[in-house]
Amino acid sequence: MKLKVKVMDVEQGQQEIVLNQELSHEMCLETGERVIVKYNGNEITCIIDESRRISKNTIILYHESAQKLNVKTGQMVDIRPAIKPAGIDYIKKKIRNESLNRMEITEIIANVLEEKLSNAELSAFITSIEINGMSPEETLYLTEEIYNSGEHMEWNSEKTVSIHSVGGVSGDRITMLATPILATLGYTVPKTATRAISSASGTIDAMEVLCNVTLNKKQIMEVIKKTKGCVAWGGAVNLAIADDKLIKIRNPLQLDPQPLVLSSIMAKKKAEGAKHVLIDVPFGRGAKILDLKNAEIISKSFRELGKGLGINTIVTLTDGSKPVLNEIGPSFEAKAVLEILEGKRKDKLYEKAVEMTAILYSNVEKISLEKAKQIIVQTITSGKALKKFQDIIIAQGGKIITSASIKHAKIKRIIKSTEHGIVSHLDNKNIARIARALGAPGDKQAGLIIKVATNQRITPGTELYEIYANSQENINEALRLMNDYRIIELQRLVYSIE
Amino acid sequence: MKLKVKVMDVEQGQQEIVLNQELSHEMCLETGERVIVKYNGNEITCIIDESRRISKNTIILYHESAQKLNVKTGQMVDIRPAIKPAGIDYIKKKIRNESLNRMEITEIIANVLEEKLSNAELSAFITSIEINGMSPEETLYLTEEIYNSGEHMEWNSEKTVSIHSVGGVSGDRITMLATPILATLGYTVPKTATRAISSASGTIDAMEVLCNVTLNKKQIMEVIKKTKGCVAWGGAVNLAIADDKLIKIRNPLQLDPQPLVLSSIMAKKKAEGAKHVLIDVPFGRGAKILDLKNAEIISKSFRELGKGLGINTIVTLTDGSKPVLNEIGPSFEAKAVLEILEGKRKDKLYEKAVEMTAILYSNVEKISLEKAKQIIVQTITSGKALKKFQDIIIAQGGKIITSASIKHAKIKRIIKSTEHGIVSHLDNKNIARIARALGAPGDKQAGLIIKVATNQRITPGTELYEIYANSQENINEALRLMNDYRIIELQRLVYSIE
């Protein structure tokens, strides 16, 4: 069937085309089925969408498809029905709770990469994994396929390391500290990270306050060559293309099936070329992992998967029920990191960063944890870690900056208590909600500073926290949200009388 | 945020808009999340798609959304982030295998109707039902909500009936016979049906050979007023709008979770205004339901659901392992129906139609099945059912037509056996594949005629079947497929030596 092309100059994640509805019915095709579109020797498989509003001799192609075919509006393409990609049968196997073998997982990921699967089909795959799970073998195959789907970095050093947190805890900026500390100690630390998804700031959002983070593979290799350390945005490096496509479906649905969390993280660690990996699993109320039992289960899976991938994998289970920093928001967090390296503060973030890096260091060097801690602390007190961090910032296109010069958003409000009580809980999820209402992470200067700690006694008038935004509208929105989403909870004998 | 509209003049099943990627990241929004789009007092919730290829001050709206907002290219709309529809939380409950209450199911279906759920979210819902199932209560709530989502037909007569097959069997044209037979007996028979999805011909494809089937509610009511019977395309009546939206996702995935099959069929029967319903469940190799056990399970569910809906529901379990007719394709099947009503043939279709209508009739009239069969046969032999069918065809805009005047496709090939053996199986799925390759159901004259029966002894040269198409290309395609998809299987002692 010959059809005249009309190109819509926007991208469509899936390779979709639009056909006249009547025509597609005549061809016994339906929305969601596939056709092969051919032009001048090129051919691609596309998913059909139907419209009554285009003529029967026309086909609408979106930007990417038109580009792949090298075709322009007005030219003629040939279409014919395509058979279903085999991956769909294997997705249905997973729906029936049958195990997938390596070939089947390879085929699904190949179909994902060729954009032969629709969002609905990918969603069915993710949902079936959420419900039916995956065996350790399936998870390993999946991780290897995701690893194979993207770029790889290789380093001469056996001492290439990476620290990664499963996430969900505000102010958990460990890797911004661990990277210069470990690089100071001679390790290669090619850290890639993501921007915030639901939190107030990801590692990348905070790092971006100090320098450029959008580096390609070549640029990362140059930074590492100069400094041994790097903190780059994973989204610019294509370390695991298949994973990016799955995440596009997972994020809006907020579905985090454990096998996909595992494969996503570990495929990227392997692609970073890490030989030793420390995975931090914060657990507790308000964190992603709710209790110790679940933290232990996922910890075991990480270690098993690491073994399969040939990566020395250490897992730490840490308290994720409270924020790691009292200051939340990209600039606030970047400032805190600098203050620690400048020797100006020794708070929970300092302690956690020392502990994490020492655990990794003692494991690789086969020395005691105490000894390792002494060495780590020495990198900070000597100023070497700060110097290394400045080198990394400069290598990534930034300027030398001191903590004192980092600015916060211009409008500030102090939130005071109206009640008596004892602080029993600081809620990570609600902190993220309020911080996002204030403009973070898009507005790097927006955020909040918590002024109380758990178990602290408060009275009416006690300052609870300060909020910062660059627009009155955002301040108002945050104030409005505070009624429904409480950052601070008080211990009470009687919670309500109804 | 004010943005300039660019309208894309095509429909998009989901209410999607396209934003500049950078802008959406600045707003902390992602593909798959939602915004409220406002124009001149109107507002709708839309799902975000991102593009790098539009400018930051532009928003792309598709036809339906632009129409709902009454906005044109170049005008300015206001957008702001929307909260997630509550239905998503309930879908996630189902993913966690928790039961949904009536309010939760009402909300999901409301979100479906408002087009607030993306294809990926609907797919997650369908997949979770496929894996976790639904209780009888959940299925009843879902059916009632689907019923509520569309138009309803009401009739004065308590004797309003409908026959429906779960499907999957070639040539199963029972309702084209049952409708005039039961209408002759004074019943109201407002039958709505679908076009073929994966088969060679649906009831509607065959009926369309004889008359118009695209009737709206008013037109159906007029046909029924004149003749008491009608065979109309459900797609033109909007009897269960929510179901149509779910089917758009289910069909390409070929996911038929039992609760959705039940709710889809029974909501439409209730919307037809049927007081008595006969559901035929063909089972066996090559049918949708594979064995007696599964047929019994679904039968029980149909009866239970019918009870909840206040519909007298009878279920028949029938042999679905072979085609009901030897002639397959819309014109072939319409011709066979006419020949039966003309008294020219008494084959398996004749027998099944007599049996089915008699079961329903004896149940409603509270007479013996034998007595009912006599009365049914009498409607045929007397010519009354043929006369009634002609009246219905004329009321639906057709002309009086005899079986002899129905034409087949012009190119014919006879397929002969090359082996000795005994026919052990005629495969419904492969018959549908070959018939579709020949052009059915799009080309109404295309199809095939099977010349052998199961248990028949054949020798090299025995005529197995004839294929008909209107283009040599389709004949060639069918011949090519025959190697992989065998319509006729022979009994063998040794199947292969390897």
Query: Between A and B, how many residue pairs show a Cβ–Cβ distance under 8 A?
Result: 143
Residues of A in contact with B255 (CB under 8 A): 92, 95, 124
Residues of B in contact with A9 (CB under 8 A): 53-54
Instruction: Decide if pLDDT at A117 tops 70.
Output: yes
Task: To the nearest 10°, report the CA torsion of A228, A229, A234, A237.
Answer: -30
The helix (H) or strand (E) run that includes residue B134 is none
Average pLDDT along chain B: 93
Residue A72 and residue A92: Cα distance in Å, rounded? 37
Residue B291 is a catalytic residue = no
Domains of chain A, each with CATH number or no CATH? 2-81 (2.40.40.20), 87-133 (1.20.970.10), 161-239+249-395 (3.40.1030.10), 411-491 (3.90.1170.30)
**A95 and B442 in contact by Cβ < 8 A?**
no
Instruction: Decide if pLDDT at A219 tops 70.
Output: yes
B470 and chain A in contact, CB less than 8 A: no
Q: In chain A, which residue's Cα lies nearest the Cα of B14?
A: A49
Catalytic residue among B49, B78, B256, B347: B256
pLDDT range class, residue B178, cuts 50, 70, 90:
very high
Q: In chain B, which residue's Cα lies nearest the Cα of A96?
A: B131
Instruction: Decide if pLDDT at A493 tops 70.
Output: no
Instruction: Decide if pLDDT at B496 tops 80.
Output: no
**B119 and A123 in contact by Cβ < 8 A?**
yes
Residue A282 and residue A263: Cα distance in Å, rounded? 18
For A45-102, the pLDDT digits (tens) are 998 988 888 899 999 999 889 999 999 999 999 998 888 899 999 999 999 999 999 9
Are A413 and A466 spatial neighbours (Cβ–Cβ below 8 Å)? Answer: yes
- Side-chain-side CA neighbours of A368 within 13 Å: the count stands at 3
pLDDT range class, residue B288, cuts 50, 70, 90:
confident
Instruction: Decide if pLDDT at A12 tops 80.
Output: no
For A150-167, the pLDDT digits (tens) are 999 999 999 999 999 998
Provide the residue count of chain B: 498
**A124 and B128 in contact by Cβ < 8 A?**
no
pLDDT score, position B495: 60
Overall average pLDDT of the A205-213 stretch: 96
ipTM over 0.85: yes
Instruction: Decide if pLDDT at B198 tops 90.
Output: no
Residue B167 and residue B379: Cα distance in Å, rounded? 26
Cβ-Cβ contacts under 8 Å for A381 (sequence gap 6 or more): A343
Residues of B in contact with A60 (CB under 8 A): 10
Instruction: Decide if pLDDT at A133 tops 70.
Output: yes
Are A94 and A129 spatial neighbours (Cβ–Cβ below 8 Å)? Answer: yes
pLDDT range class, residue B340, cuts 50, 70, 90:
very high
Give the active site residues of A: 256
pLDDT score, position A53: 84
| Nearest of A249, A322, A315, A235 to residue A286 by alpha carbon | A322
pLDDT range class, residue A496, cuts 50, 70, 90:
low
- The DSSP symbol for A405 reads G
Q: Is the dihedral of CA B480, B483, B484, B490 positive or negative?
A: positive
- The DSSP symbol for B42 reads E
Task: Name which of B58, B80, B253, B481 to mutate to probe chain A: the one with the most chain A Cβ atoms within 10 A of its Cβ.
Answer: B253
DSSP B413-430: EEEE--S-EEEEEE-HHH
pLDDT score, position B192: 95
Residue B327 and residue B412: Cα distance in Å, rounded? 14
Tell me, rounded to whole angstroms, the distance of Cα A112 from its chain centroid: 20
CB nearest to B63's CB, from A8, A50, A53: A53
Overall average pLDDT of the B164-177 stretch: 93
B254 and chain A in contact, CB less than 8 A: yes
| Nearest of B184, B176, B173 to residue B381 by alpha carbon | B184
Min mean pLDDT across A252-266, B15-29, B102-116, B288-302 is at B15-29
Instruction: Decide if pLDDT at B282 tops 80.
Output: yes
pLDDT range class, residue B493, cuts 50, 70, 90:
low
Instruction: Decide if pLDDT at A26 tops 80.
Output: no
Residue B312 C-alpha, separation from nearest chain A C-alpha, in angstroms: 33
Residues of A in contact with B13 (CB under 8 A): 31, 49
For A380-394, the pLDDT digits (tens) are 999 999 999 999 999
Name the residue type at position B483: N
Name the residue type at position A83: I
Higher-pLDDT residue of B51, B414: B414
Cβ-Cβ contacts under 8 Å for B167 (sequence gap 6 or more): B199, B282, B288
For A232-273, the pLDDT digits (tens) are 999 889 899 999 889 888 888 888 899 999 999 999 999 999
